[in-house]
Amino acid sequence: MCRWLAYSGTPLILEEVLYRPKHSLIDQSLHARMGVETTNGDGFGIGWYATHARTPAVFHDVGPAWSNRNLQEIAGHVRAPLFFAHVRASTGTAVQQTNCHPFRHDRWMWMHNGAIAGFHLLRRSLLLGVDPALFSSIEGTTDSEAMFYLALTFGLDEDPPGAVARMVGFVERVADQHGVPAPMQMTIAVADGERTWVFRYASEGTPRSLYFSRRVDDLRALHPDTDFLKDVSDETRLVVSEPLGDLPGAWNEVPANTYGVVEPGRDLLDEFRPQLP
């Protein structure tokens, strides 16, 4: 289990979102409330798009986020219009930087909460599904990174929702071939620098929690005294594994088996259904 946060909107110093709110993501690294585990201390990562580079920067480290000084330094001095942050609770794979989210390939960033059941059994077959030209770019051993490279294989560049649907369909078929039922538990965020797509899905039962912030103009009306809200555009949006604690009324649950697109203009929520690749 992990906790993550995806921000997009008015360029903001990262710490405004990562550290300042009550029950911030950094606080969730030590005291998560809605996850399977309360502690997410097995590494962390952030990724952001700088205005002068096409590919995002990623910063990963293996200790807990709550005590990491470099994270605090970067978060306090970097400003970005689109950034991801992720705190990890390992489900068994090694605690190492190449297993930390967000993963990056070219202009894409990807992060995940959840797990593929029986991944140990399925790993080889899943990796065989990855485009051979992409194979050697895989550096870690997580299910999350394998899912990313499968989505890249199945067309992330052209059609993110379709590519993720085909990735899930592929994983479910491989699992079925190995006798593993209901393999997928996931919330995912993926961005290309302009837009962010988020997914909440489980092969069976309730998926991991996922929330998005209400429109900033609604929040401003609810919380006229909150400084942070004065400075950001109406289109600024947060998607989070569990609500940050400052703003009652600020959060809507992403419905189960749904995906959303966060982009300039109208956002979108739609049904998510796995497809066979």
Q: Between 96 and 257, name the residue whose CB sits nearer to its own copies.
A: 96
CA–chain centroid gap for 3, Å, is: 8
> By the criterion CB under 8 A, which residues form the site for its own copies?
13, 30, 38-39, 41-42, 48, 50, 52-53, 56-64, 67, 69-70, 73-74, 76-79, 90, 93-98, 120-121, 123-124, 127-128, 132, 135-136, 138-139, 141
Smallest gap, in angstroms, from Cβ of residue 138 to its own copies?
8
- Determine the Cα angle at 82 with ends 153 and 271, to 5°: 55
Tokens linked to 109 = 């960033």
DSSP letters, 35-104, are SSSS---S-EEEEE--TT-SSPEEEEESS-GGG-HHHHHHHHH-EEEEEEEEEE--SSS--SGGGPSSEE
253 to 191, 204, 210: CA distances (angstroms): 20, 18, 6
Return the number of the residue (90 or 258) whose C-beta is nearest its own copies: 90
Residue 98 Cβ, how far from its own copies at the closest point, in Å? 5
**Helix, coil or strand: residue 25:** helix
Which of 2, 17, 26, 100 is labelled catalytic?
A: 2
Helices then strands, each counted (H, E), the chain: 9, 13
Q: Which is nearer to its own copies, 96 or 275 (CB)?
A: 96
Report yes or no: 168 and 184 within 8 Å, Cβ to Cβ.
Answer: yes
Q: φ, ψ for residue 105 (rounded to 5)?
A: -140, 120
Nearer to its own copies, 60 or 166 (CB): 60
Minimal distance, residue 19 CB to its own copies, in Å: 14
**Smallest distance from its own copies to CB 104, Å:** 9
Q: Given the complex with its own copies, which of 141 and 258 has the nearer CB atom?
A: 141
Q: How far is the CB of 64 from its own copies (least distance, A)?
A: 5
100 in catalytic set = no
Report the distance separating Cα 270 and Cα 160, nearest Å. Answer: 13
Q: Is residue 254 within a helix (H) or strand (E), and if so which, with residue range?
A: none
For the annotated catalytic residues, the residue numbers are 2
